[in-house]
Structure 1
């Protein structure tokens, strides 16, 4: 077990090193000059050159990378090129909305997706299976922004049940906080519910066709015991995998969702930073998100041992 964990940790470190190099080079080699954007369209070349010198953009790219790497390892993600505020401070100010939407989305997606997948596999070929399969196909096919605009039109404009856009901090009370998160969470959850439900259904069907499941049924095992004690446990590895993969798609969905619902989270921060070519913010967000994703996948890999101990060998 110790060797298994060590291998996964080494892999995680290697992935983060590759992500750091890729993010740094991608932004530096992309067209556009942040110094020119800061100076403005009518700025003189001398002004642009002075700004480049001040920001350290005149140094060779390897030198810039070394300076940036040591700063990141020391917990300093740099300063925004435009607001001149620390990147971690700007990210911390936007964390609450993004974390709130992400946590609620994962909870809702896993709960409903796994439940729908189990029900569809249990009643395979029946009306319940066909309805849930059609819902999963539709949910996985419709873009998040289309679902978002539909939910706004239906629940906010037509029947006035929920607010159209915006975000209210949980400091103002759990009620207003939750109400403003309902529509973004529903819009973002739909494709993940469909994705998890389809994988759960396929995994459960494969397990339910095994000989030991027929033996359990012949011995009089209840439907609950067969579905949850035997089938779900043995189908757990693909389900855990798809839950981990969902986190990879979550960040792109959050960017779109926060834009549609005007939520001031990390996604909006990234969009503004991309428009301004604000390197430190983009790099800081991508590194933190990549680190979180690698950590989640590491946890998922280690959790496989709880479901199937044979994986460690």
Structure 2
């Protein structure tokens, strides 16, 4: 157990190191000079050279990289080129909407997806299975922004049940906060519900065909006991894996969803920073998002020990 945890932690550190190198080189080697953008189009070569010297862009890449890592370890993600404010401050202002949307989406996706997958597996070949399989196929096929506009039209414009766009912090009240997140969370969760449901169905069908499940049925075990006490626990590892991997797709989906629903989150911040080539902001957001993704996957890996005792030994 201890060696398994140590291996996973060491691999996490190695992955974060590679992510840091990739993010640093990706932005440093991309076309465009941040010093020239700060100076403006009419700036002279002397002014641009002075700004490059002040930003340390004339140093070698290894020196720049070590300085950047040292600042990150001190909690300094740099200063925005155009806003003139600390990157960590800009991200912290945009983090609540993105985290709220992401967490609510994953809770909804995991809960509904697992339930759909269990029902489809238990009624394999039946009407419920065909309906849920068709929904899963449709969920993969329809783009997120199309679903978003569809839900806005029917539930916000026509029915007027929910707000069309915007975001209210949780400090404004639980229900107002939730009202502004229902439509974007449902929009973003549909492909993940379909993905988790299909994996859950396949894993459950494999477990339900095992000999020990037939033995449990012969001993008179109830359907609830067979599904949740025996089948779901043994099928848990693939389901946990797909929930962890869903966060990778969630990063791209959040950007689109925040744009459609006008949510001032970290995704919108990244888009604005890319358009203006604000390197420190792009680097800061990518590092934080990558770190969160790696830590979530580490938690998923460690949770395998709860559903599969064989990993402990």
TM-score by length of 2: 0.97
SS at match of 2:77: coil
Q: Which residue of 2 aligns with 1:21?
A: 21
Q: Which residue of 1 aligns with 2:295?
A: 295
Give 1:1-313 correspondences, 5 Å limit.
1-313=1-313
Q: Any conservation in 2 of the 1:34–1:276 contact (CA below 8 Å)?
A: no
Q: Distance in 1 between matches of 2:140 and 2:222?
A: 33
Deviation digits for residues 265-312 of structure 1, max 9, x if unmatched?
110111111111111111111111111111111111111111112124
Which is further off, 262-271 or 275-284?
275-284
Q: State the 1:140 CA deviation.
A: 1.6
SS at match of 1:12: helix
Q: Distance in 2 between matches of 1:135 and 1:160?
A: 26
Deviation digits for residues 220-247 of structure 1, max 9, x if unmatched?
1110011001100110010010011111
Deviation digits for residues 3-30 of structure 1, max 9, x if unmatched?
1111111100000000000000001101
Q: Distance in 1 between matches of 2:40 and 2:145?
A: 33
Q: Distance in 2 between matches of 1:215 and 1:43?
A: 80
Q: Distance in 1 between matches of 2:51 and 2:28?
A: 16
Task: Go from structure 1 to structure 2 and tell me whether the alpha carbon gap of 1:160 and 1:41 turns closer, same or farther (over 3 Å shift).
Answer: farther
Q: Distance in 2 between matches of 1:301 and 1:176?
A: 35
Deviation digits for residues 183-228 of structure 1, max 9, x if unmatched?
1101111111111000000000000111111111111111001100
TM-score by length of 1: 0.97
Q: Distance in 2 between matches of 1:163 and 1:55?
A: 44
Q: Distance in 2 between matches of 1:133 and 1:115?
A: 13
Q: Any conservation in 2 of the 1:19–1:290 contact (CA below 8 Å)?
A: yes
Q: Distance in 2 between matches of 1:307 and 1:224?
A: 18
Q: Distance in 2 between matches of 1:139 and 1:33?
A: 42
Gapped runs of 5+ residues in structure 2? none
Q: Distance in 1 between matches of 2:55 and 2:21?
A: 20
Aligned residues: 313
Q: State the 1:252 CA deviation.
A: 1.1
Which is further off, 101-110 or 44-53?
44-53
